[in-house]
Amino acid sequence: MVFTQSYLLKSVKKPIRNYLRSRFLDTLRLTTKGGHGGNGLPKYGGVGGQGGAVYFVAKEGKSLRDVVTKYPNKRAVAGNGEESSKARILGRRGTDQKVEVPVGIRVLDDEAGSITELDEEGKTYLASGGGSGGCSGNSFLGKPGQLRTLTLDLKLIADVGLVGFPNAGKSTLVKAISNASPKIASYPFTTIRPQIATIEYEDYRQITIADLPGLIEGAHANFGMGHKFLKHVERTRLLLIMVDVFGFQLSQQHRKRNCLETVYALNKELELYDPTLLDKPCALIINKMDKEGAVDEICKYERYFHSLQDGLKMCPEELIPSKLLTIDAVVPISAKSMKEIEKVKHEVRTILDLKAAEKLHMDWPSTRVAQGGLFHAPKARYTKETQDLIKVLMEEAKLTILQRNKINYHLRNGEPLPVPKEPKFEQEYSNFLPVAIPRKNIKKRSLHTIIESGAFDVEKYVPHKPKEPIEKVKLKLQEQMSGIKMFPDDGRRRRRVLRSKSEGCMDYVPPDRASELLEEINERVQWLEEMEALGEGKKHRATIQLQIAEKLNELKRLDRAKSQENEI
């Protein structure tokens, strides 16, 4: 009975929930087995066919999800070699199994670690070799094929990698600059799987950008699946770091980081994961500039963004990296309201083009073509002393790599040096300041309508009432609070009028000062006893005892004055 019940329960499989079904797959464990070699024929000296092999072939447009669809059991097995026979002395080779994998796959083995990377179209790797066929050297017995269990680890190949903490607006930016439609929400970890989008330009240029899930502090140690996301940054050509202008705080237990500390935290995580990532060109995107107070917030730290070395004094000790990023461009944007999006696309393209030209060592106009003409103007000649002076000035000015590359490009091509333009506040952040939007469909009013509305009526001048002296106002407030009519001391004797607080009658009797002092002394004694019971008496004992002594002295003076009046 128990066996039947357990069998029935196993046969009923619960369907996987939708949010657990991963559309994007970047890791796959696959078992490969080469074909068995065919047996030989000892009577005629026949040789068996060799077993087939299993190959991995990199192909564009493929994904690991396609591999799982083709091999649902996650086993790729090649064909066995043909056995030797009288009809065919030499057996035929077994059928090879070619597994098409996406470009960017890294093949891992449990024992040897990383084996190879298939980062080019058509690149192949022998996963499992086939067994040799039977012959006289192995007693005409075919050998089994190689059996291996390999891990296919996919690293996305994109031009730009978008890196940042959760809820910084990365998916909103991707949607604004491309035709992608990622999920967007106002809570952290909205993006849980990497996505690739394409930025298209008017001249049909295309640049791919990888939208990576948000990182957290400790991602280098694989907190929050940090390794699973950071590995996709390794093959990008440009790092696009995105931060919130108001900083980031993961939860109430974590410390709030401002936008400058957020940059240092991301720098630290990238350095601890792979220091070579800091050698890549980098652009900083500061998002959410449309919110109130954003301009004031960015003005506090904008002078440190291009030179992170100067801002280390404001960085907490646990976030100080040993190697700093070199930021080529800083672009404040509002991804939600589509402000400065075109500037982001322009900066991304400019940085990638300059890096490509620097890598190829392009020299244009070419020295092999005669100088002159419209398209090949003669170049200016900068002396070595001039070039050395410009390099020293660039070092002292702490220019970014992008600015230095532009100047070097002009020096190399004999062009005039670019004129530096210091961005003013009105030019840099004027797009993010609130603007009054005029109403639409406003009809012109006639003169009669304007006159009837009272627009030309002049208000009657009413002189302002002079302000009362401050001392007089104080006396009035004292009268209202105490109920006693107060008169200024102007040298004349005035009778003191006593008024009741409620009815305004003349029979108001002021309280006895001696009884008031006794009440105050009793209150302080009781309060001190309560503090002693709570263990806080030592802190307040001296102060309360001094106040009680003052009250007792005043009480003694009152008793002495009463006794003198009675004697008279």
Domain ranges of the chain: 27-154, 160-362, 384-413, 524-561
| Rounded Cα distance, 232 and 128, in Å | 27
Task: Compute and round to an integer the Cα radius of gyration of the chain.
Answer: 42
| Rounded Cα distance, 331 and 302, in Å | 11
Query: Tokens for 287?
Result: 């998002």
Most confident of 13-22, 136-145, 150-159: 136-145
Per-residue model confidence (pLDDT) at position 428: 57
Q: What are the backbone angles phi and psi of residue 282, rounded to the nearest 5°?
A: -140, 140
Mean pLDDT of 410-419: 74
Q: Are 129 and 21 in contact (CB under 8 A)?
A: no
Evaluate the omega torsion of the peptide bond into residue 365 and state whether it is cis, within 30 degrees of 0: yes
Q: DSSP states of 253-279 as a string?
A: TSPPB-HHHHHHHHHHHHHHH-GGGGG
Residue 394 scores a pLDDT above 50: yes
| Rounded Cα distance, 348 and 402, in Å | 11
Per-residue model confidence (pLDDT) at position 53: 94
Higher pLDDT, 90 or 461: 90
Among 62-76, 225-239, 550-564, which is the least confidently predicted range?
225-239
Mean pLDDT of 370-376: 54
Q: Are 496 and 484 in contact (CB under 8 A)?
A: yes
Per-residue model confidence (pLDDT) at position 334: 84
Q: CB neighbours (10 Å) of residue 487?
A: 12
HSE at residue 72, side-chain half, CA atoms within 13 A, is: 0
For 263-288, what is each residue's pLDDT tens digit?
A: 888 888 888 888 888 888 888 888 88
Among 306-310, 461-465, 485-489, which is the least confidently predicted range?
485-489
Q: CB neighbours (10 Å) of residue 199?
A: 20
| Rounded Cα distance, 172 and 337, in Å | 10
3-state secondary structure of 321: coil
| Rounded Cα distance, 268 and 218, in Å | 9
Q: Are 290 and 336 in contact (CB under 8 A)?
A: yes
| pLDDT, averaged across the chain | 77
- Angle CA 211–213–218, to nearest 5: 135
Superfamily of domain 27-154: GTP1/OBG domain (2.70.210.12)
pLDDT band at 493 (very low <50, low <70, confident <90, very high): very low
Residues 6+ apart with CB under 8 A from 145: 33, 34, 35, 36, 37, 51, 52, 53, 78, 128, 129, 130, 131
| Rounded Cα distance, 58 and 125, in Å | 9
Query: Tokens for 416?
Result: 């005039």
Sheet holding 206-211, edge to edge: 195-200, 206-211, 160-164, 238-244, 282-287, 327-332
For 171-215, what is each residue's pLDDT tens digit?
A: 888 888 887 665 544 444 445 567 778 888 888 888 888 887 766
H or E element in which residue 101 lies = strand 97-102
pLDDT band at 361 (very low <50, low <70, confident <90, very high): low
Residue 217 scores a pLDDT above 80: no
What DSSP designation does 26 have?
Answer: -
| Rounded Cα distance, 513 and 517, in Å | 6
**Whole-structure pTM value:** 0.54
CATH tag for 160-362 (out of 1.10.357.10, 3.30.750.24, 3.40.50.300, 3.40.109.10):
3.40.50.300
